[in-house]
Amino acid sequence: MNEKAIEGRSTTRLLLVPLDDIVVFPNMNVTLTVDVGDEERVFLVPRSHDEYARIGTVARVTDRIRLPGGGRAVALEGLHRGIAGAAITDPQGRLFVEVDERPDPDEVNGRVRELEREYRAVVEEILELRGDDGRIAAFVRSITEPGALADTSGYSPDLTFDQKVQLLETIDVRERLELALEFQRERLALMQVRRRIQEDVESGVEKQQREYILRKQMESIRKELGEDEASVVEEYRQKIAEAEMPEKVREQAERELSRLERMGEQTPEATVIRNYLDWLLAVPWNKRSEERLDPQHTREVLDADHAGLEDVKDRIVEYIAVAKLRKERGIEADRRSGAILTLIGPPGTGKTSIGESIARATGREFVRISLGGIRDEAEIRGHRRTYIGALPGRLVRALRDAGTMNPVIMLDEVDKVGSDWRGDPSSALLEVLDPAQNHSFRDHYLDVELDLSEVLFIATGNTTDTIPGPLLDRMEVIRFDGYTTDEKVAIARDYLWPRQRERHGLREDEVSISDDAIELVITEYTREAGVRQLERELGTVLRKIATKIASGEVEPPVAVTPALVREALGRQKVFRETAERTAVPGVATGLAATLTGGDVLFIEATSHRNGDKLVLTGQLGDVMKESAQIALSAVRALAPKLGIDEEAFENRSFHVHVPAGAIPKDGPSAGITIATALASLLTGRPVKHTVGMTGEITLQGRVLPVGGIKQKVLAAHAAGITDVILPERNRADLEDVPERVREEIAFHPVMSIDEVLALALEEKPVESHAAL
């Protein structure tokens, strides 16, 4: 407060008039039913729950009024604020207080003027929202003193008693304006929210009224056009009659149609019923593709589309032949004799594409359902109609898309189906893929029996390990074990090269490639069971050629030679390093089967004095670690036969490592390879670089059978291995190996580790290891 204001203070003894739950501000006129005697001025102090405010209002008596019945009232005008001091009671019992009067100062600074302008703007916005006719706004504009302007908040019915007392007790004009502005901003925000809510409600009501009027108008128009509710129901009834549904399905459809007819079009349930009827009518209940039952034609189509894959082709031809015989001899179709084929093999071997070829060969429609990553059972069986946005499952949608009841449905990536709290889709597939049950499949949405027995299901996957046992039991598994180099050359020449040539805008007479160049791409730039990487590399070669032809660097025709392949693809990416790796004792070449086909792996062994530990590295699984321990024990037991001194094991630790260390490895089939590496280390005799091996070993040194023989042999052939050691009981599996591969590789079935070491180890030890 400035000095002038301090000097202008005065202390006066005034009659105390308590005000219960009301607050009187300076410049405010009120009439109170109190008796003030002859006093010209009084001190009005707010009181709540017997507690007085610290600051009150000095008021002047402007009129005395006599009320009917003898009562008295006075008209008062607030002058300015005052601070209550000492209290004195007169002989009549009235309470007087010493009041330190505090009128507002006359001088005003720039900040107060800014607050004054803000306050006026907020109040005018509030008055506009409240629908003021302009009189209150004019009253506010007429006030020139900032203190009196802030006190106008006391008129607001939205401020609480405590807020008004807080405003009264703020003597400083600037602080009072800031407080009043804060209160008015809160009021404005609240009123704006209320206005938005009111507008939303009004717009919602208006929208409903508008929709109601439009619907009524639409009903009138449809009646004039003869398209009223009765005609919609008749349209559905006609469609149901034409759909040739099974008896129980037709009864269900008619029941739902009767419900729609009773409740009318305007109810929310009507939309649900109409959607349900639309889906019932979308199923091709009595439509079937005319199947071409010609085994010879089927084989020709399959051979034209795919090289190799003889097992799959034979099975499809057998299926067509049996169907042809049953039809020719008038044998009634058995609803429990459906075909469910499961193609298991590495990526890029043609599992998915052969489904389209099968559909084309048999004259059926083809639909593909990708199951990879599905975790919700409703994706297979559908949602119940009680849920908003419910839909049938993927099988019903597949039949709708096919337009027939006997399509070829491919269930792609069936080994990658997941499960969580929403259900287990693989359990729902149990019924779908069981020929004894799928003639009465029930979708949750349609809730009627659906005959899937005429569907030819073809499932695909990379491995059977992740497919649940009960589901796998219902499948007829056909394994894809990858292609030989000759088969890849044929596929690249007849399918991949023409397709990539067309994609890159080149004509057949502009570019050609020799088989030698294709084989170079296969052996030096790819290592895979399938042909996806091979197709990408051929695409790279064609892009380089297309760029040169488009820029005028070369003139067509262009013949792709091995030299041109190396120029386009750069340095060699895949190396045959068997001879180099096994030249040192303690390294043996093993054969492994992976999700991407067969592979060659090297097992390295070394040892050092001081200790008796077996250290295993290379991200080995528990089964492979146990195989290593068994291999070491078997070699130690056979030490005398191998010419190994028993003392070679005393106080010696062994370390077995399987590169590459970043790739997890597991399984028992590396048992004889680990034993051979350890025997090679201890005898100093290197393993022959032409030898690869696979087989499980026991403590007695016996060799047990393993799986994936075809994949492993193909990997050995691709790596240049000419001798393969395998268990005797796997001899029959060699029939699955292509004939050309069998001619180029010598197979050595064995029953014990003695035979393995006799075949695998060189005759003489390396000099540096002879003394070990």
Q: Reply yes or no: is the peptide bond before residue 425 cis, omega within 30 of 0.
A: no
Contact 614, 626 (CB under 8 A): no
Helix axis angle for 562-569 and 515-525, nearest 10°, is 40
Q: How far apart are CA 481 and CA 571, in angstroms?
A: 29
N-term to C-term CA, the chain:
104
- From residue 484, alpha-carbon distances to 37, 310, 445, 501, 730 in Å are 122, 13, 48, 23, 20
Q: How far apart are CA 751 and CA 408, in angstroms?
A: 46
Our answer to whether residue 669 is catalytic in this structure is yes
Bridge partners of residue 12, in order along the sequence? 99
Q: How far apart are CA 446 and CA 251, in angstroms?
A: 13
How many other β-carbons are positioned within 10 Å of the β-carbon of residue 720? 16
Which of 669, 680, 688, 752 is an active site residue?
Answer: 669
Counts for the chain of helices (H) and strands (E), in that order: 28, 25
Pick the closest to residue 359 from 322, 410, 323 (CA basis).
Answer: 410
Cβ neighbours of residue 342 under 8 Å, at least 6 residues apart? 414, 458, 459, 460, 461, 472, 475, 476, 477, 478
Pairing state of beta strands 72-89 and 55-66?
Answer: antiparallel
Rounded (to 5) percent helix, strand, coil in the chain? 45, 20, 35
Which of 313, 488, 688, 712 is an active site residue?
Answer: 712
Three-state secondary-structure class, residue 363: coil
Three-state secondary-structure class, residue 310: helix
Q: How far apart are CA 603 and CA 679, in angstroms?
A: 12
Kind plus residue range of the DSSP H or E element containing 57:
strand 55-66
Our answer to whether residue 712 is catalytic in this structure is yes
Q: How far apart are CA 376 and CA 421, in angstroms?
A: 8
Q: How far apart are CA 266 and CA 454, in angstroms?
A: 40
The catalytic residue positions are: 669, 712
